[in-house]
Structure 1
């Protein structure tokens, strides 16, 4: 079972302004459809699950599962780990650039 409210909460954090509209754009979905997901009036149909998975990643989908299968949980954790490592490398590169600008030549 998927608790889509977890997804809605995550989308609201991603897009503090015009959340439903931004998600609709990301998923190429009608704005009214996504507004219904946000209000709890409807849940994403299976047709949108692939788009949600492709756009936001396995970790996003698994976060909405009460009891994900262990291998899905492991894959989601590995996806998050890889994303965090990439972010750290990007930050390290920016810090190195800043340091080089400060250093006398």
Structure 2
């Protein structure tokens, strides 16, 4: 299949640097070890992702999405769609409500 005028779509594209920044922000210390533990992945595999030597395949990206939710996906996309932004907001709201409920107990 030919590419049209050498252009690629940017909508929905995952930016590897943004994805790694999200992971480093989530786990500032021992990022690779913590992410590997969250995903059940080998530490060396995660180190390769963070170093830019490899990118996660669909299996590991799905595991990351399951572990980190819509916030990870939105933070990783160049141009996240509105429905994803709203999903992330709903997830954050639910998390804050859980934290408030714990404080009330």
**Is TM-score (shorter-chain normalized) higher than 0.5?**
yes
Q: Which residue does 1:52 correspond to in 2?
A: 64
Superposition TM-score, scaled by structure 1 size: 0.75
Superposition TM-score, scaled by structure 2 size: 0.75
Q: Which residue does 1:100 correspond to in 2?
A: none
Q: How many Å apart are 1:8 and its aligned residue?
A: 2.0
- Structure 1 distance, partners of 2:25, 2:67, is 16
Greater relative contact order structure (CA < 8 Å, 6+ sep) = 2
Q: How many residues align?
A: 93
4+ runs deviating over 6 angstroms? none
1 or 2, which has the higher helix percentage? 1
**Alignment of 1:37 onto 2:49:** yes
- Structure 1 distance, partners of 2:98, 2:19, is 23
Q: How many Å apart are 1:5 and its aligned residue?
A: 2.3
Q: Which residue does 2:6 correspond to in 1?
A: none
Q: Which structure has the larger Rg over C-alpha atoms?
A: 1
